[in-house]
Amino acid sequence: MFFTIFLLTITIVAISLLALGVQTFFSKKKKFPETRVGHNRNLRKKKIYCMKTQQVVIDKDAYGKKNNKISCDAC
């Protein structure tokens, strides 16, 4: 019984991963979706940044530092 459920689970997971791969491969954009927080345009519109950028913004607001550069290249 356990072995049957295990095989069924593995099969469902494999089919799901295959479907995601096919969708990405055959998409019209031909570009893998951006997953990093600092480089995602939709998250920037919602004012969501990577942790380093958030810390710079917090420090700037709290201490008035003016020379902080906001960059997500290292994120």
Spatial distance between the Cα atoms of 5 and 2, rounded to a whole number of angstroms: 5
pLDDT tens-place string over residues 17-47: 999 888 777 777 666 666 777 777 888 888 8
Cα–Cα dist 21/37, whole Å: 22
pTM for this predicted structure: 0.39
Q: How many CA atoms lie within 13 A of 56 on its CB side?
A: 12
Encoding tokens for residue 54? Answer: 């958030």
pLDDT for the residue numbered 72: 58
d(CA 58, CA 75): 17
Give the model's pLDDT for residue 28: 73
Domain ranges of the chain: 1-32, 34-75
- HSE of 59, CA atoms in CB hemisphere, 13 A: 12
Average pLDDT of every residue of the chain: 79
The pLDDT value recorded for residue 66 is: 60
The predicted pLDDT at position 55 comes to 82
